[in-house]
Amino acid sequence: MAPDDPALGLRRSTTVVREYDPRWADEFRHEELLLRRTLGDLASGIEHIGSTAVQGLAAKPVLDIAVALADPSTFGELRRRLEACGYDYRGDLGSEGVTSSRRDRSRAARTISICTRWGPPSGEATSRSATRCGRIT
What's the mean per-residue pLDDT of the chain?
76
Query: Is residue 56 predicted with pLDDT exceeding 90?
Result: yes
pLDDT at 15: 82
Let me know: does 116 contact 69? Beta carbons within 8 Å: yes
Residue whose C-alpha is closest to residue 64's, from 97, 92, 101: 101
Taken in order of first residue, the domains within the chain and their CATH numbers are 20-121+128-134 (3.30.460.10)
Beta bridge partners of 64: 49, 111
> Is the whole-model pTM more than 0.85?
no
pLDDT, one tens digit per residue, over 72-102 is 899 899 989 998 888 887 776 665 555 556 6
Rounded distance between C-alpha atoms, residue 50 and residue 33, angstroms? 19
Which of 21, 99, 105, 112 shows the shortest CA–CA distance to 59? 21
